[in-house]
Amino acid sequence: MEDRVVMGPFFNRGGFQAWFFVCFEDVIVAIPQGFWYAIKSAATGGAMMHFGAIGGLVQGLADASTKAHEDKRVTKLRKESKADLLGATGNVVYPVPDIASIQVKLAIGSPEVIITPKGKKRCVYGVTKPADFDGAKKVLTTLYPNLIEKKGATQPAT
């Protein structure tokens, strides 16, 4: 396995903030992508679900350019140094020892990845593209098996 896995985009704030996760063995770094990136990227996955008919129209126009932009962004995140990712303003850093649990679940509306830091409010990230849900669940379960909450469990699996 490489030293990191890059996943995304994920969404929060009603779909108006996009994030990529860079997952290392000891830390997850959530990197924000900005408002316009979120709108454009959401249009390629679940636009009809999130934005109705207007989303469907935008989806048809944005698919190819957004895919190329996402690929370029993932390539950049795979090359960027860990120190730069950890120190960049705006990035959210989740040290693995400080995470109480990670949930990857199908929710009403869209699938979700929920990271709950110890003693802090949970952070919910939507998975707009259904095909990305299974991949995210597999990667997070493989990398962080002791943090993944099993269905119906109140505590992370050990």
Do residues 49 and 11 make contact, with C-beta atoms less than 8 angstroms apart?
A: no
Give, rounded to a whole angstrom, the gap between the first and last alpha carbons of the chain.
Answer: 23
∠103-48-125 over CA atoms, to 5°? 20
115-148: per-residue pLDDT in tens? 999 999 999 998 877 677 888 889 999 999 999 9
Q: What is the pTM of this model?
A: 0.78
Are the beta carbons of 36 and 43 closer than 8 angstroms? no
pLDDT tens string for the chain (158 positions)? 468 999 988 888 666 788 999 999 999 999 998 777 766 665 555 544 445 555 555 555 556 566 777 788 889 999 999 999 999 999 999 999 999 999 988 877 678 899 999 999 999 998 877 677 888 889 999 999 999 976 544 444 44
